[in-house]
Structure 1
């Protein structure tokens, strides 16, 4: 056994040694410039394509940045950085560097601190951790860590450019710019004119570059390989520990879903171009419009790969809405659970702010629950399944997600239903992130929906996990009764739904609480259990309310003994239809980037 292990170990190190030796055999010129790497152009360092046919360097006068095609003993400039040609002052080029923010910057002689210009300055969104590669067709491309091209020289041909293999003319859908070439340029630019004797490329004098020292390159390569090997071991150890934690959570909560972690340092993989979303929604046509939120409309779209999407389009010139948008992207991009709506991506381009979500065909829970023509689809078992699913999603937000999240606007219109009527919590525009040991927060900017707000939040701006628990309790009573708390009216008692349910509970009339459209035989025990849990959640004092961990246990364990609920908050308040409430976007039922008003078509 020991001998076999040793043999495997020896084989492994032999493979590593062969790999390093192979890399070290490569010449000093390289085809890729990675993060924080630089080329000392004044020392003759260059980027060279793997087929040795193209070179990226400064010309012989060190005044221009060009890509050359190499043919026999000749070379010709086939591309030049136009932005630099148009600059009023052009010092001699010394160094080019790829920084961590995704900019390919050029520095002049005598000033290594301030870049002369940025090669990819016209790139709409800078993507961090980008690398530059000179391909075998002469195209200089900048790619993200996921391999997506974010900028390429073929999209910005120099004047007098001669077409290389793969270069295209026309309109770029991604960058929305015209790719054309001029025939002549002022004499101040580098010569790209054709010369006789070259195979479709003009021939000019050789650049006469010096090769980098192989020893230095080998040293860097060996060091990088060793560092990568150690980093891989550390990453493997970290992932094993995280997997153990995930498996433990799944064993404890078999109905939940926690996916493998995404180790990317940025969210560039979520970025959508405006053009792709515009085409998917048929230019945001009225036929594709699903509904209108407080800060903008929601559209249905279909990507070129056939995937259906829901797009939130934030109203322009809305400062508060933009902050809500950024908050929602930050929060939901880090959350993954079967009972949370899935964020597919986002777009920040021109003045547009878009969120792209998975499309859920049954829209929001309130559009089904409170619609007389649709409510029959929610039978008793489905309603209990929806309650349990929302509870699991809320428990994940409070306890098991990477971030501790307080939703602050949980309601039936912010719960979406998929094709199988499984619930997914949505709309994180007002959500707040808590620290690990943080128990509650306060604000003067009350946002949310009256009827779902806990008394301490509505009156004093204090919010915590127990604020979400209160909102969840209101939802339980709404789902069981089929009545909306904010529009309930009882001509005899003039109470809201909470007060109405409380009176029926104290009088032992449990089955009168359930929705009258439910023709099937309803289990009195289940009705009693779920109404009981709902009343525990809406108690006036936050300290008396259970946590979501307790709530999930109460719902799933039939034999669990439940505490007696105290009188709920707002039990004596008259119906909200007869109450004057402040009217402002920050405290309305729909907030900045919500899809809570989605209506089926």
Structure 2
């Protein structure tokens, strides 16, 4: 390890731009992990071999970079929870650069906005659920559902609740032990204690996971996240992808298909390897998911109620004792 080098232990909250360039090999293609709505994510290698994920915000992201920076840094950096991705460092720096404008080269001030997170080698829930190696057993998937719900419960019950507003499998990352961690807070809003709902002029996000009242009226509340959560729970339970990201009917086709097809008999057929209590867990999770996606937001359960329902689903011990 280089003496005085950058390590996970001594990583400063505000990391110099040159340090971000160093740990990402100057944002090389070889270090690129993925590109999304907000920008590109690179693997960063520290001097002690420790790994981080570096998000370089795009100039044309759907939310202004200063707003994303405020959301992620001021709102999220203070959060400590095992089901929330940890933001460990950041940088926001204006630089003079030669850029092309109307066919001419001019000097312009370009603000580089960089966010540094803990590195999660397993990648997104989406990749693990629907990618090539999609062999997560039911027990693990049930724990993932519970972990996501605990993360949302933490966000929604803070003194000033945080609404994520961008929940989808791509924004849930998995740790080494398959612990789910909610990421990407670029769309997030903070509510005051007296607020239960509000309206926003800027409706941004993945259409297929957005609550109808948010998509059509710009109305947001804690129940907006619950709608997205319901779709994720159904995807994890059925292993069927909600492919309605471009469907303006806010995933109704997917929801109707799950409601119609995933009877107890279908679950027993698809999950023939599962024990009795596990079949009832799958059925219970699908039922909870369907409650979460009701069009009338007042009929959706709160996150506290969802956790209670999950904890009431049968376990192996309970089934054994009842025999």
TM range (shorter): 0.7 to 0.9
- In the TM superposition, 1:387-536 aligns within 5 A as 387-399=145-157, 401-487=158-244, 496-504=253-261, 509-512=263-266, 516=270, 520-522=273-275, 523-536=278-291
CA distance 1:514–1:549, change in 2 (3 Å) = farther
Among residues 548, 563, 566, which one is paired with 2:303 in the alignment?
Answer: 548
- 1:361 alignment counterpart: 121
- 1:289 alignment counterpart: 32
2: CA distance, partners of 1:449 / 1:514:
32
CA distance 1:316–1:503, change in 2 (3 Å) = closer
SS of 2:291's equivalent in the other structure is helix
TM-score (norm: length of structure 2): 0.81
2: CA distance, partners of 1:515 / 1:398:
37
1: CA distance, partners of 2:12 / 2:159:
19
2: CA distance, partners of 1:432 / 1:305:
36
CA distance 1:515–1:328, change in 2 (3 Å) = farther
Encode CA deviations 1:59-106: one digit per residue, 9 max, x unaligned.
xxxxxxxxxxxxxxxxxxxxxxxxxxxxxxxxxxxxxxxxxxxxxxxx
- Structure 1 residue 346 corresponds to structure 2 residue 90: yes
Structure 1 consecutive aligned stretches of length 4 or more whose deviation exceeds 2 Å: 315-319, 509-516
Using the TM superposition, give the Cα deviation of residue 329 of structure 1 relative to its aligned residue in structure 2, in angstroms. Answer: 1.2
1: CA distance, partners of 2:127 / 2:266:
23
1: CA distance, partners of 2:207 / 2:60:
27
TM-score (norm: length of structure 1): 0.45
Using the TM superposition, give the Cα deviation of residue 514 of structure 1 relative to its aligned residue in structure 2, in angstroms. Answer: 8.2
Aligned length: 282
Encode CA deviations 1:446-479: one digit per residue, 9 max, x unaligned.
0111121111111111110111111100101111
Which runs of 5 or more structure 1 residues have no equivalent in the other structure?
A: 1-172, 175-267, 489-493, 560-601
- 2:20 alignment counterpart: 277
Choose 1 or 2 for highest CA Rg: 1
Using the TM superposition, give the Cα deviation of residue 297 of structure 1 relative to its aligned residue in structure 2, in angstroms. Answer: 1.2
- In the TM superposition, 1:181-192 aligns within 5 A as none
Bigger relative CO (Cα 8 Å, ≥ 6 apart): 2
Which runs of 5 or more structure 2 residues have no equivalent in the other structure?
A: 96-110, 246-250, 315-323
2: CA distance, partners of 1:544 / 1:411:
21
Using the TM superposition, give the Cα deviation of residue 296 of structure 1 relative to its aligned residue in structure 2, in angstroms. Answer: 1.8
Using the TM superposition, give the Cα deviation of residue 325 of structure 1 relative to its aligned residue in structure 2, in angstroms. Answer: 2.3
SS of 1:483's equivalent in the other structure is coil
SS of 1:270's equivalent in the other structure is coil
2: CA distance, partners of 1:385 / 1:317:
37
Using the TM superposition, give the Cα deviation of residue 369 of structure 1 relative to its aligned residue in structure 2, in angstroms. Answer: 0.6
2: CA distance, partners of 1:374 / 1:414:
18
Encode CA deviations 1:261-312: one digit per residue, 9 max, x unaligned.
xxxxxxx951001111111111111110101112321100111132200000
Using the TM superposition, give the Cα deviation of residue 519 of structure 1 relative to its aligned residue in structure 2, in angstroms. Answer: 6.4
- In the TM superposition, 1:31-110 aligns within 5 A as none
